[in-house]
Chain A
Amino acid sequence: MKNTRTSSALVALAAVAVLGLAACSGSGGKQEEEKASGGNNAAVADTPRVKIAMITHEAPGDTFWDLIRKGAEAAAAKDNVELIYSNDPQAPKQASLIQTAIDSDVDAIATTLSNPDALGPVVQKAVEAGIPVVEFNAGVDSWEDTGALMYFGQDETVAGQAVGERLNEEGAKNAMCVIQEQGQVQLEARCAGVEETFSGKTQKLYVNGRDMPSVGSNIEAKLAQDKTIDRVVTLGAPFALAAVQSVEGAGSSAQVVTFDTNADLVAAIEAGDVQWAIDQQPYLQGYEAIDSLWLYLTNGNIIGGGEAVLTGPSFIDQENIDTVAEYAKRGTR
């Protein structure tokens, strides 16, 4: 009994090994990425090593935050900064992460202000403790009140309004705004912005962003329920890609447009599956947050003259996709 089992396991193992040897892919995969790889390898600054904590409200596993982190890591590597990254999507927990950073005596803090009421007091505590704070990505309306030095990001409402205006130009009549996390302030602000300027009808659809098949089928159901929908506005690149399939599945003629980008989405714009994306340059947000703190710590510089530094919105469509595509493949746009 035992012997037959062992030998059948061996046979299975051997079969997998043979399959493995004979089964290299002729196309795609790491091999192609390696051929195309490149990057910005700048020299490291000779300033003394400093410790900067970066705290965000990233929900683990969201591609958008990859870009922010990559930007931050690039700046940290160049500026001789020890970057300590932590994140929690729940505001009270993010607040305690900021407190942890204060307790561990970091030289500076970069944080998102996802929920000003919950995070404001602890940011003020950091400022009172003499730790310079820069805010980025979220909190454009209230960053000054918290005593932060600078702000890098886009105004979500302004971005939403820009989308609404573009939809007007295109003559759209009925837009569906797909929100992947119900009650998330930034996402709601985007849809509200669209609704403000868009002269057609705007409706919302909530989906479970952690279950892609369900995202796809819910969009499909909504397109069937309201056949006059001619634009699907998603609030993240992966959801735009799912929406493309749903539009096809529902036999709808709606066009897909989206906030934010990733490598696959750039390819989808190139192919014409997604019309355009509104970009807030997350890589730039992460990079500037760290780089500006380094400048402040080493040279006392402040960027923005007391105003928020806006990293968006800008549109990526078929006309300017070529300039972005190269960097998207490298994973920095």
Chain B
Amino acid sequence: MSESPVATETPLADERVTKTSPLQKLLLRPELGALVGAIGIYVFFFAVADPFRSLDAFSTIMYSSSTIGIMAVGVALLMIGGEFDLSAGVAVTTSALTASLFSYEFSTNVWVGIFVALAVALAIGFFNGYLVMKTKIPSFLITLGTFLMLQGANLAVTKLLTGQVASRNISDMDGFGLADAIFASDFSIAGTTFRISIVWWLVFVAIATWLLLRTKVGNWIYAVGGDAESARAVGVPVVKTKIGLFMGVGFLAWFAGMHLLFTFNSVQSGEGVGNEFIFIIAAVIGGCLLTGGYGTAIGAAIGAFIYGMTEKGIVYAGWNPDWVKFFLGVMLLLATVTNLWVRNRASRS
């Protein structure tokens, strides 16, 4: 190799690799805007709503956030990978119904139903992912189909097996105690009761963050969401990654479904409709782009927290209940605008 003439000159700093200050690095994080929004809303409700200030209220808000947040983790990862899952909301109900109906109808230990439900939830994820990858039809349409199919099946199968539209109460069956302890128990810190789902939520966020930032798979997820063709060209297993992401949503839907089942002992077959959008909203508020390739799991967690906090904050503030939805919309819009503003400021400075 001949020596390059440039190398002999005094090395000039390349403007492409110019150093960014640590502060700017922080400001450029996708979740920062959401964090600012979350703090803003927290301070706001802290100021206007007396009961909002208690630790009990914080526990309630965290619980509410966790029920959205657990699913938002999977949905955010999927969105970073460039796909949607509209069946995520009813898949939670499907999982809960499967576990409950299976163990009830066959009078088995509850845990048998739980594992059957896991298999079903993963199969739904696989089905979504496989169809999206094989047909190349946008996931929005494929999962819209599965959303409607599951919604119908939830009702029809429940009705067929039990003769009514809710699953039967399974709280007196073997194995319920342990499952209840894992999926739906409480614990106390400083006299305040917290739900176990909060812990699981944080665990899932931590795992997803580690997966995204520290593993090869994480790089694959960003790559397939950014540009699937280029990703394939450099050897990323695009099909496997995307199917895996759909199955990840399936897994979390199973988990959320088990929480639903063991909290209320029986499940209404019409539940979960509309939640798919709340999961997506949480991911987007948290900095995920609708176009894929960008976002974080922590951001989605903050998004879920903003949603949970706003929903409950309005109740704590005691505002006219007729206007709740309106206020919820205003708050979410404010959070999103703050998010955008912070990001624009950060990238300009």
Contact = CB atoms under 8 A, between A and B. Distances in A.
B269 interface: yes
Interface residues of A, number: 53
B107 A19 contact: no
A61 B165 contact: yes
B344 interface: no
Contacts of A26: 174
B268 A25 contact: no
B270 A24 contact: no
Contact of B268 (A23, A225, A238, A331): A238
A249 B197 CA distance: 15
A27 B51 CA distance: 43
Interface in B71-113: 103-112
B155 A29 contact: no
A331 B165 CA distance: 11
Contacts of B268: 61-63, 212, 238
A59 interface: yes
14 contacts: A23-B108, A23-B109, A23-B174, A24-B109, A25-B108, A61-B155, A65-B165, A205-B315, A205-B321, A210-B272, A212-B268, A213-B263, A238-B264, A264-B169
Given A33-B168, A60-B155, A224 B54 contact: yes
Contacts of B164: 63, 66, 262, 331
A20 interface: yes
Interface in B141-200: 151, 154-155, 158, 163-166, 168-175, 193
B290 interface: no
B241 interface: no
Interface in A165-184: 182
Given A30-B107, A238-B166, A249-B193, A214 B263 contact: no
Task: Indicate the size class of the contact surface on chain B.
Answer: 35 or more
A205 B315 CA distance: 8
A217 B164 CA distance: 26
A210 B174 contact: no
B112 A242 contact: no
B56 A224 contact: yes
B173 A27 contact: yes
A217 B64 contact: yes
Contact of B315 (A59, A62, A221, A264): A221
Interface in B304-319: 311-312, 315-318
Contacts of A16: 112, 115-116, 119
B57 interface: yes
Contacts of A249: 60, 193
B152 to A, nearest CB: 9
A125 interface: no
B107 A29 contact: yes
A34 B185 CA distance: 31
Contacts of A218: 64, 311-312, 315
Interface of B: 49, 51, 54, 56-57, 60-61, 63-64, 67, 103-112, 115-116, 119, 151, 154-155, 158, 163-166, 168-175, 193, 259-260, 263-266, 268-275, 311-312, 315-318, 321-322, 324-325
A69 B280 CA distance: 36
A204 interface: yes
A62 B270 contact: yes
Contacts of A59: 270
Nearest to B320: A204
A111 to B, nearest CB: 20
Nearest to A262: B166
Contact of A241 (B264, B324, B325): B264
Interface in A64-83: 65-66, 70
A260 interface: no
Closest 3 CB pairs of A and B: A61-B270, A29-B107, A23-B109
A220 interface: yes
A225 B51 CA distance: 5
A261 to B, nearest CB: 13
Contacts of B51: 221, 224-225
Given A210-B272, A210-B273, A28 B173 contact: yes
